[in-house]
Structures are given as C-alpha cells and as structure tokens.
C-alpha cells in the first residue's frame, strides 16, 4: 500500500508541477511533449515507490520509541526516580577559591 501511495502522489505532483509551471510562463516544461511527461512521471514514481518502503520502516521504528526493559535500573517514565519516589538531586555548592589563588588573579 505504501509504495502505491508514494507512486501515485509523485505522479500527481509531477503533473501539477508541469501544469502550474506552464501556466506561469515556463513553456520549456511542456516542450518535450506528452511522452516526455509520462516517462518522467513514471521514472520518478518508480523511485518514490522504491524508497518509500525503507522510509516507512525507519519512521515506524522511530515513532515506536525506545525499547526499555522495566526493572529497578530502568529510567523513570513519568518523572521522579525509578522506585517511584519524587526526589531531586542536590548538587554540592562549589567551594570558594583559596585566598592565595584570588591574590594571583588581581
């Protein structure tokens, strides 16, 4: 189904591009004739159908999200920690520089 939709959309897009281009004065788009347009649309539709399958598989994998095993070491899914409590980590404050180091900076 995916390759058919990709091929059909590509054919429609090529035809619309050529027709709209001709309407705005780009007559070189139709200079090749109907056979040229049909051949071009066929070649591009074949490429679209061919590349739509890997793109579909990659998008399906990407949208499925990461596969994480549930357990005590797994990352939290809804905030908080893995054990379910909501603790925030407190970072220690940086110690001030010794007086000797401050004196060298001046």
Question: What pLDDT, in 10s, does the model give residues 36-50?
Answer: 889 999 999 999 999
Instruction: Report yes or no on 81 lying in a domain.
Output: no
**The pLDDT of residue 88:** 54
Q: Could you list the residue range(s) of the whole structural domain that residue 14 is in? A: 2-64
Instruction: Report yes or no on 20 lying in a domain.
Output: yes
Which pair of tokens denotes residue 60? Answer: 């399906």
Q: Is the distance from CB of 18 to CB of 37 less than 8 angstroms?
A: yes
Side-chain half-sphere of 2: how many Cα atoms within 13 Å?
11
Instruction: Report yes or no on 86 lying in a domain.
Output: no
Task: Give, for all 106 residues of the chain, the pLDDT tens digit.
Answer: 999 999 999 999 999 999 999 999 988 888 888 888 899 999 999 999 999 999 999 999 889 877 766 666 655 555 555 555 555 555 555 666 666 665 666 5
Domain count, the chain: 1
Which pair of tokens denotes residue 104? Answer: 């060298």
Helices 34-64 and 2-23: crossing angle in degrees, nearest 10, is 130
Nearest to 2 by CA among 63, 42, 58: 58
């Amino acid at each position: 189904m995916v390759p058919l939709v990709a091929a059909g959309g590509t054919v429609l897009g090529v035809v619309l591009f050529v027709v709209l281009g001709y309407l705005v004065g780009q007559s070189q788009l139709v200079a090749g004739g109907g056979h040229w347009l049909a051949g071009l649309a066929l070649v591009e539709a074949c490429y679209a159908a061919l590349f739509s399958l890997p793109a579909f598989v990659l998008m399906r994998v990407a949208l499925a999200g990461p596969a994480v095993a549930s357990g005590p070491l797994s990352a939290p899914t809804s905030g908080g920690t893995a054990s379910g409590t909501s603790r925030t980590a407190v970072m220690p404050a940086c110690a001030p520089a010794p007086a000797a180091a401050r004196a060298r900076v001046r």
